[in-house]
Amino acid sequence: MKTVTKKRKKGWFKKELPFHVMLLPAVIITIIFKYVPFAGISMAFEDYTPLRGLFDQKWVGFENFRYLFSLPGFGSVIWNTVFIAVLKMVGNLIFPVVIALLLNEVRAKKYKKTVQTVLYLPHFISWAALAGIFIDILSPSGGMVNNLLNSMGVKEVFFLGNADVFPYTMVFTDVWKELGWGMIVYLAAITGIDPTYYEAARMDGAGRFKQILHVTIPSILPMILLMMVLSVGNVLQAGFEQVFNLYSPQVYATGDIIDTYVYRIGVIEAKFDLATAVGLFKSAISFALIMVGYKMADKLAGYKVF
């Protein structure tokens, strides 16, 4: 019996070995670029200067964190991040569901597929490219949107230069970009609904609206809850690439988020220790929120990751 077990183990090893060899380059790259840089976290607790080695710095403990929290603008940076991220989460939850429900009622297949494709394409366009487009479209002088507002007798709005309007511009443009991606998730959930539920609803005299209200929405509610709780971990992810390409000093008061703040003090001002401290603070909070999100997903939607 033992000999048979050993032969099976040996056969399993020979069978699986090529797959492990194929996986090896990815593992090595992950270790080099993901785990080795963890050593740089020590900069958050040091008075770092590039003139000395990483482990030859003066150790200052939590002094960098105390200094950061004492800065007058740091609180507003955190608030801006949470405010923009939460609005994005709400928008990217509500609008894809509504569009998926509406698109599911379309019976013309060619039209339905065309709309899906048009809504889905922006997800694959980088913010570096989209930024130039939005700067032209939202320009206060000659921009398409402001020309339309002027034609309706409304004064032009400086969408990317007005601190009061900028956060909402970030939310609207992000929802527009990611609308198709979220819509596909809910369309897939809708297609998985048992058709007999709709037949039973029709037999009870339910029209299309009542079928949506009493069959479709309750059936996809677990998916909506799952997407909602999994997005909890993104409360501090307001979108660096988008904000970085669209913001300016005029909107720092409401548009400066943690990621752009880290970029400015770390890359522009070369304060690597403070930038690392901010990044570590954000990562710790995000990790805790992700754990909370997974726990909520397990309780509310029966979803387990590990």
Residue 10 in domain: no
Q: Do 100 and 121 fall within a single domain?
A: yes
pLDDT at 31: 92
Q: Do 158 and 52 fall within a single domain?
A: no
pLDDT at 172: 93
Q: Do 144 and 42 fall within a single domain?
A: no
Of 128, 149, 126, 152, the closest CA to residue 138 belongs to: 149
pLDDT at 168: 93
Residue 163 in domain: yes
- What pLDDT, in 10s, does the model give residues 111-166? 888 888 888 888 888 898 999 899 999 888 778 888 888 888 888 888 888 889 99
What backbone torsions phi and psi does residue 157 show, to the nearest 5 degrees? -120, 135
Q: Do 119 and 140 fall within a single domain?
A: yes
pLDDT at 293: 75
Residue 8 in domain: no
Among 177-181, 227-231, 271-275, the range with the most confident prediction by mean pLDDT is: 177-181
Q: Do 51 and 200 fall within a single domain?
A: no
What backbone torsions phi and psi does residue 59 show, to the nearest 5 degrees? -85, 125
Residue 242 in domain: yes
pLDDT at 301: 62
CA 146 vs CA 26, 33, 149, 157, 279: distances in Å: 49, 45, 5, 7, 38
pLDDT at 306: 58
pLDDT band at 176 (very low <50, low <70, confident <90, very high): very high
Q: Do 236 and 215 fall within a single domain?
A: yes
Q: Do 103 and 55 fall within a single domain?
A: no
Q: Using the predicted structure, report yes or no on whether residue 28 has a pLDDT greater than 90.
A: yes
Residue 12 in domain: no
Q: What's the rounded Cα separation, in Å, for the pair 65 and 116? A: 47
pLDDT at 279: 83
Average pLDDT rounded to a whole number, residues 74-96:
90
Average pLDDT rounded to a whole number, residues 96-104:
90
Average pLDDT rounded to a whole number, residues 246-265:
87
Residue 9 in domain: no
CATH code for the domain of 108? 1.10.3720.10
Q: Which domain holds residue 115?
A: 71-301
Q: Do 244 and 137 fall within a single domain?
A: yes
Q: Do 41 and 145 fall within a single domain?
A: no
Domain boundary at 37, 61, 85, which? 61
Residue 13 in domain: no
Q: What's the rounded Cα separation, in Å, for the pair 10 and 296? A: 42
Q: Do 50 and 106 fall within a single domain?
A: no
Domain boundary at 34, 61, 88, which? 61
Q: Using the predicted structure, report yes or no on whether residue 302 has a pLDDT greater than 80.
A: no
pLDDT band at 8 (very low <50, low <70, confident <90, very high): low
Q: Do 40 and 117 fall within a single domain?
A: no
Sign of the C-alpha dihedral, residues 120, 123, 124, 126? positive
Do the beta carbons of residue 197 and residue 268 sit within 8 Å? no
Average pLDDT rounded to a whole number, residues 69-98:
89
Average pLDDT rounded to a whole number, residues 277-298:
81
Q: Do 239 and 272 fall within a single domain?
A: yes
Residue percentage of the chain with pLDDT more than 90: 11
Domain boundary at 11, 35, 61, which? 61
Domain count, the chain: 2
pLDDT at 269: 80
pLDDT band at 194 (very low <50, low <70, confident <90, very high): confident
Residue 189 in domain: yes
